[in-house]
Amino acid sequence: MSEAAEVIEPDVETAPDDAPSAPSATFDPTLLARMTGELGDAASIERIGHELTAAYIEFLPDIFHSETGFKIEVRFGSLKTGLKAQLLADLGDTVALCDASLRGWCPEFTMACGSTFVLTLVEAMLGAPPELIEPPSERALSKIELDLTEMIFSKVANVLRTAVATGGNFEPVLSNPYNAPDRPKPPEGYRDPNAALISLIISFGKTESMIHIVAPQRNFLKTKVTAAKPAGRAKKEWTDQIKEQVQRSQVGVEARINLQPQTLGIISKLQVGDVIPFEDLGDVKVQVNANGKELYFGEFGRSGTRYTVRVTDTYSTETDLLEHLMG
């Protein structure tokens, strides 16, 4: 009688249910960005960048001269790529920024302008010959200067509008200009896009400054540059807009009244309730200031429940007043 053969099962080691799975291969983010159109090749970006630069070199001086009477020169500065936030940060804290959109081209791009160009333009608009204006120092712009910067950004955006194909006659939509340090933080979950930065050198009188356009590469790569020439508006209309912007700008106004001179000993002993008389007898003279600049002379008075100042003399003409206020 034969014995049955004993079958020995091999030991099979089973992994516990909670054992970690083998790591999966991660997809190269750069390759993914190229496949989804978020990142382009250097040759395509360079070609589009130089086509847009050529449009600005040809059209921006023309429209600027026709609307202001001033001559500027535009030439290529640089073309860079990277994350949009970093490209903007690299421009520094003394540029003015303006966020914009242009339907049919890009829903979110940013323009930047060097402060020295703005400051020189302000002086020129107030009557100083550009060739005699010394290049100012870079600094953050005041509220009034930012209001005037809106005019510059509108010209830059309009050249862009006529230079690129959008599939319709769409107008650019611009935010209020702001200084670079005041750039709002992106919303939670915002994904910083790969972008392209075109930098243009602007020569105006003795001043050389920069204008920049930053756009996500996903929109930049689809750009088709056309040869349409923008139609400039008259100089008077442009200067009227400048004047209107200045008139809408609000500034703090204060009045200063001279009091009778006192010795330091008396001043140091003044107590709550003590009275110091005005220096003037009869009508009290008042000096009216705005932005720390003397503007008017007046007389102190009262109307109903409010104390008032009646203007008796001005600093000079309207143009001189604006120049004095903004200088």
Domains of the chain, with CATH numbers? 35-248 (3.40.1550.10), 253-326 (2.30.330.10)
Whole-angstrom Cα distance, residue 126 to residue 121?
Answer: 9
Q: What is the pLDDT of residue 310?
A: 82
pLDDT at 31 > cutoff 60: no
**Burial letters 3-38, b for 16+ CB under 10 A, else e:** eeeeeeeeeeeeeeeeeeeeeeeeeeeeeebeeeeb
- DSSP per-residue letters across 266-279: HHHT--TT----BS
Residue, of 145 and 227, whose pLDDT is higher: 145
Residue 167 — pLDDT band, cuts 50, 70, 90? confident
Residue 254 — pLDDT band, cuts 50, 70, 90? confident
Gyration radius of the chain over CA positions? 32
Whole-angstrom Cα distance, residue 265 to residue 217?
Answer: 70
pLDDT tens track for 140-163: 999 989 988 998 999 999 999 989
Of the ranges 218-222, 233-237, 278-282, 322-326, the best mean pLDDT one: 218-222
Whole-angstrom Cα distance, residue 204 to residue 65?
Answer: 11
pLDDT at 296 > cutoff 50: yes
Lowest mean pLDDT among 37-41, 49-53, 203-207: 37-41
Q: What is the pLDDT of residue 174?
A: 96
Whole-angstrom Cα distance, residue 324 to residue 291?
Answer: 10
Residues 6+ apart with CB under 8 A from 159: 55, 56, 59, 60, 63, 230
Q: What is the pLDDT of residue 114?
A: 96
pLDDT tens track for 2-13: 444 443 444 444
Across 181-202, average pLDDT: 91
pLDDT tens track for 101-134: 999 999 999 999 999 999 999 899 888 899 999 9
Residue 285 — pLDDT band, cuts 50, 70, 90? confident
